[in-house]
Every structure is written in C-alpha cells, then in structure tokens.
C-alpha cells in the first residue's frame, strides 16, 4: 500500500470518527431538551435524531461546500492538512467532553482547518472572508437564539394564559415531539453536513475531482455514524443542556427548540456553518430567564461560554501542532 493511499484511508477513517464524536457532542444537543423534559425516552430520541439528521443532511450541500472550499484555499489543501485539522478538532471536543461541557464542532473544525492550513502553506492560504462569516456567527447565532427563545416563550405564555399548567404541559408534550424533530432536522441540515464535507473533501483530493461532490452513500453513512455516537455517549451532554442548566417543562422545551432550530435554518439557507450548541443553549437560557433569572445555572452557562470563546484559538493551535508533528514523522 502506497503512502498516498494510506493517508487517504486515514483521512476517511478520521472523518467518520469526527462524525461519531459529533454525535455524542453536537448531535446530543439537538435532542437534549426533549429528553430533559421527559417527552421522549433517550432511545426514541436517538432514533428520531438519526432519521431527521439524515433527512436534513440530504437537503443541500451549501454548508459542506463552505467547509470544503470556503475556509482554506482548496488548491493548497492536502490530505495531511485534512488529517491534522480533524485531529485538532476532535482533541478539543474530547477534552471538553471530559468535563461535560458542550462545545461547537463547527468552530473546532474551522479552527483546525485554519491552523493546519497555515502550517501547510502560510496564513495567505486562509480564506478570511469565509472565516469571518463563521466567526460573526459565534456572536449572532447565540444572540438570535436568546432573543428568539425569550420572545417565543413570552408569546406562548400570553396565548395560553387561560390554560391550566397540567393541560399546557400535556399539549406541549405532544407539540415538543414535532419541535424535537424540527431541531434534529435543522441540525442535520447544518452540522451533519460538516463530516460529509470533510469526507467529500478527502475523496476530492485523493481522486482529483474538479468539483466537491457529496455522494449519497457518504451522506447516509456519516449520518448513521453520528446517530451511533449520540447513542453511545450523548447522555453527558444531554444532562448538561437539558437538565442541569435549566429545569425545563415541555412548553419551555418547545419554545427553545423552535427558536434554536429556526436560527439554524436561516444559517443553512445562507450556507453559513454555525453551532447547534450555540443555538440551542442560548435559546434555553432565553426561555429560562423569562421564568426567573435564578432558573438558569449561570456558573455552568459561564463555563460553556468560556469554552465557546476558546474553541477557535485552541483548535488553531492544535491543528498547527498536528500538521507539524505529522510532517516530521513522515519526513
């Protein structure tokens, strides 16, 4: 087996590992509120997330193309760059997962690509317009999620002001099954496209394709691996987001999911990779503060926000280190 083939197989393997890691970090966020409110069992939520993620991932490739061509100049990308970027992104995800803190797989991958790309051919190869678009979303998507969650739950409370608490929870318990599916579908349309984009990028580099294309079997297999990851290790993140940060009722879970999913849908239309973690977490906080400010675990929320701010610089450094280390090993 030649070194080129071995590197391609390693890149594909790490692409699926990235999908698996994303399953028990980012994908778990998509179903956290529905499990936290006990509307869905963990098993039912994982099955639903797997199906809806796959359907969402099949609705377009704009985000996958942004990841494959909009962060680093594709003309200088190599399989070694892809491997190093994935190594940096996954290492950071596993470090934060150890503490049960949800982190953005999106920004981890972007940081890894920037760091590995810069180590490959210098900072000039970074597509700063695409990177800026992603970095702006770090601030805009949580803000929109927070405001959307706060406004939507306020509207629901007003519309249901004559309804008893038990009746409201029963009604929104049924509605939350739909909002959970909407959230998982939206996650698939944005987040699930990232491992698909990485896998397609590795195939494009290896086979010399002129255009980045995501084959159907790549989309289906990546979504399946992400669902397995959610089933394997997602409970720690689900507990953090859906239970520990704010104790949600079905009506609040519904509002948070609709708000977060809508933010993701808008970003997907624009081809902007954003974080499901950011969208749903900020929506939950927005819903929580309308009940009372003490309903939110602000210490935990602060730790999560700190991890968000550190993700891009940390993965840039890790991606750069992986590239330098791998190049030394292979030289």
DSSP string of 229-240, one letter each residue: HHHHHTHHHHHI
Q: How far apart are CA 212 and CA 199, in angstroms?
A: 10
pLDDT at 246 over 80: no
pLDDT at 315 over 90: yes
pLDDT for 81: 92
The alpha carbon of 185 is separated from its chain's Cα centroid by a whole number of angstroms, namely: 12
Count other C-beta atoms under 10 Å from residue 248's C-beta. Answer: 28
pLDDT at 294 over 70: no
Place of tokens 């590795």: 202
Q: How far apart are CA 23 and CA 37, in angstroms?
A: 20
| Average confidence (pLDDT) over 160-179 | 85
Q: How far apart are CA 61 and CA 214, in angstroms?
A: 7
Place of tokens 């590995």: 116
Q: Bin 275: left if φ > 0, else alpha if -120 < ψ < 50, else beta.
A: beta
Give the residue numbers spanning the domain of 90. 3-330
25: closest CA among 297, 246, 241, 299?
A: 241
pLDDT-based confidence at 245, cuts 50/70/90?
low
Q: Bin 211: left if φ > 0, else alpha if -120 < ψ < 50, else beta.
A: beta
The residue that leads in pLDDT, 29 or 158, is 158
Q: What's the chain's length in residues?
A: 331
Q: How far apart are CA 128 and CA 262, in angstroms?
A: 27
Provide the H-helix boundaries in the chain.
3-24, 26-36, 42-57, 62-69, 79-98, 105-121, 128-159, 165-190, 193-207, 216-233, 235-239, 250-269, 276-291, 298-330
Residue 246: strand pairing partners: 296
When computed from its CA atoms, the radius of gyration of the chain, rounded to whole angstroms, is 19
151's tokens: 């406004």
pLDDT for 281: 81
pLDDT-based confidence at 217, cuts 50/70/90?
confident
Mean pLDDT computed over every residue of the chain: 81
Q: How many domains does the chain have?
A: 1
- pLDDT digits 0-9 by tens, 94-151: 887 777 666 777 788 899 999 999 999 888 888 888 888 888 887 888 889 999 999 9
């Amino acid at each position: 087996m030649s070194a080129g083939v071995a590197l391609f197989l390693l890149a594909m393997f790490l692409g699926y590992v990235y999908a698996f890691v994303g399953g028990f970090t980012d994908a778990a966020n998509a179903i956290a509120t529905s499990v936290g409110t006990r509307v869905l069992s963990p098993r039912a939520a994982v099955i639903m997330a797997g199906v809806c993620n796959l359907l969402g991932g099949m609705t377009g490739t704009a985000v996958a193309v942004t990841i494959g061509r909009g962060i680093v100049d594709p003309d200088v990308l190599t399989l070694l760059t892809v491997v190093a970027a994935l190594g940096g992104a996954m290492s950071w995800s596993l470090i934060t997962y150890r503490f049960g803190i949800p982190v953005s797989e999106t920004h981890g991958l972007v940081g890894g690509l920037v760091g590995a790309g810069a180590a490959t051919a210098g900072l000039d190869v970074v597509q700063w317009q695409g990177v800026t678009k992603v970095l702006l979303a770090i601030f805009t998507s949580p803000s929109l999620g927070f405001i959307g969650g706060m406004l939507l739950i306020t509207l629901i409370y007003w519309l249901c002001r004559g309804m008893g608490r038990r009746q409201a929870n029963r009604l929104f318990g049924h509605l939350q099954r739909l909002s959970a599916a909407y959230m998982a579908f939206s996650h698939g349309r944005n987040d699930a496209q990232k491992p698909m984009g990485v896998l397609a990028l590795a195939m494009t580099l290896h086979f010399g394709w002129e255009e980045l294309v995501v084959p159907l079997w790549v989309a289906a297999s990546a979504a399946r691996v992400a669902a397995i990851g959610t089933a394997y290790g997602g409970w720690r993140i689900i507990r953090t987001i859906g239970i520990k940060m704010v104790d949600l009722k079905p009506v609040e879970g519904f509002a948070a999911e609709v708000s977060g999913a809508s933010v993701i849908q808008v970003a997907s239309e624009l081809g902007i990779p954003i974080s499901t973690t950011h969208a749903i977490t900020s929506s939950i906080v927005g819903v929580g503060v309308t009940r009372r400010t003490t309903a939110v675990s602000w210490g935990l929320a602060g730790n999560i926000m700190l991890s968000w701010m550190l993700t891009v610089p940390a993965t840039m450094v890790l991606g750069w280190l992986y590239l330098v280390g791998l190049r030394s090993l292979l030289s």
